[in-house]
Amino acid sequence: MGIFKNIFAPPEIRNTVATLKVPYTSSFGLFGGMATEATLANSKSAFTISAFYNAVDQISNDIAKLPKHIYKKEGKNRFVNTNHPANYLISSAPNDLMTSFDFWKIITISTIIKGNGYAEIIRNEVTGIEEAFIFRDSDDVKVYAGENFMFYKYKGSTIESSNMLHFKGLSFDGVVGVGIITFAAQQLGIMLDGKKYQGDIYKDRGLGYGVIETDLAVAAPNKKMIEDGFTKKLAAGNKFNVPMLDEGFKYKSISVTPQEAEFLASDKNAVVEVCRWLNIAPHKLKHLDNATFSNIQHQSIEHVQDSLLPWITRDEQELNRKLFTVVQRETLYTKFNEKFLLRGDLEARKNFYTAGIYSGFLTRNEVRSLEDMDPIDGLDEPLQPVNMQTLEMVENLTKQSAK
């Protein structure tokens, strides 16, 4: 049957060995095939959890706001290649509908939530030059691949692999990513259930359940009448309902326990769990229990290195793979400048710049450029401390003195 399927398939997929599907989806037996009554979060409901919303927003904002350019290597020199047509698409406006920030933010959100972020490369039909990057919703994209061949289908149209930027999240085959919601659905659902429980408690004014006590014997019909009347009174919309009890009847509330009250008053556990799922530091979600003024800068460095660099590396490598030929990659590369996020406060920047200038690995104009200031003539040469010399310089000076 496989050979006939291959023969009668549409021309564009005849030589395709296999059709790739997302290996794990929300319909997969995610929890060992065990039935559960817990709420399962989806890509929309998960964003009603403030910690999850803030985490995705933080990561996507940090990626979106990074300076991005195509660089060219000439010997030991590196400079922004403003002449490359894709440089403007990456750094300023990928298309007529989006700014660079808008584009990279939606790409990152799609990659995190759905596992895949797609952007079609629109090229000039004559020259093949990149003219636009168009975001494609992953729900409308299908991936087809063979052993050494891959293409995409978008709403019935076939797109070659070289014309589709494909940014992936966690992947089990290196070809198609899996969204974080697929795995975090149950735990995020528990958080949603907790929010619902919290809302029910507030709605009921913390009264919860209760019993009516009395030392008198009460006939069954009367019990029912008392229960219904009391319940109706307390459940009425007016929050100032006051029931009247006589004949020694007493109402005893079964209210929220101290443990439940502590659960209602704290979302710390939810914040920490979201941080684990998205690999983001708690202090980025305004959870500052273990943060101090002295270590917050180190935590910011950790955020860039552990949370952002994996995303940045994926994006850079995909751009390099799709925008440049093998030969071009020897001199051209894409760079997201993560150092933009590590500039620190004024004191830290001053110390860094001072050390860089005095050590000779930064020129004064390079420092001015990092601070978005115009260069000044005469400040392009690196400084050399007079008390620091190479062994070769010392030998030359010794020989000159001997003469």
Of 162, 121, 104, the C-alpha closest to 312 is 104
C-alpha radius of gyration, the chain, whole number: 31
Span 178-208, pLDDT tens digits: 988 888 887 777 777 666 655 655 555 545 5
321/157 Cα distance (integer angstroms): 22
| pLDDT of res. 106 | 96
CA dihedral of residues 47, 48, 51, 52 (deg, nearest 10): -20
Widest CA span in the chain? 124
Instruction: Give the position of tokens 């950790």.
Output: 302
pLDDT for position 334: 95
* Closest of 186, 207, 188, 205 to residue 267, by C-alpha: 188
Place of tokens 């030392």: 215
Q: Which residues contact 140 (CB under 8 A, 6 or more apart)?
A: 154, 155
Give CA–CA dist 100/93, Å, rounded: 5
Q: What is the pLDDT of residue 21?
A: 42
pLDDT of residue 210: 65
Q: What is the pLDDT of residue 33?
A: 40
Q: What is the pLDDT of residue 11?
A: 40
Name which of 282, 286, 277 is nearest 302 in CA terms.
Answer: 282
Residue type, 52: F
Q: What is the mean pLDDT of each run of 10 residues along the chain (403 residues)?
A: 37 39 36 52 82 92 94 86 93 95 96 94 92 95 85 92 93 88 79 64 55 67 70 61 63 55 57 87 77 65 87 95 93 89 69 82 83 81 72 72 70
What is the pLDDT, as a whole number, of residue 51?
86
- pLDDT for res 112: 93
| All structural domains of the chain with their residue ranges | 1-204+267-342, 209-254, 345-403
Q: What confidence score (pLDDT) does residue 365 get? A: 87
Output DSSP code: residue 304.
I
Q: Which whole-number Å values give the CA distances from 73 to 69, 339, 363, in the listed order?
A: 13, 19, 19
Q: Are 30 and 185 in contact (CB under 8 A)?
A: yes
pTM of the model: 0.69
∠111-113-117 over CA atoms, to 5°? 20
Q: Is 100:94 a contact under the CB 8 Å cutoff? A: yes
Chain-centre distance of CA 344, in angstroms? 22
Contact partners, residue 212, CB within 8 Å, separation at least 6: 226, 227, 230, 245, 249, 250, 251, 252
Predicted confidence at residue 173, as pLDDT, reads: 85
Distance CA 256, CA 197 (A): 11
Neighbouring CB atoms inside 10 A of 256's CB total: 16
d(CA 307, CA 211): 52
pLDDT of residue 291: 59
Exposure string of 194-209, with b = 16+ CB inside 10 Å and e = fewer, is: bbeeeeebeeeeeeee
Under 8 Å between Cβ of 118 and 152: yes
Count Cα atoms within 13 angstroms, Cβ side, for 267.
19
With b for 16 or more beta-carbon neighbours within 10 A and e for fewer, the 304-340 pattern comes to: beebbeebbebbeebbbebbbeeeeeeebbbbbebee
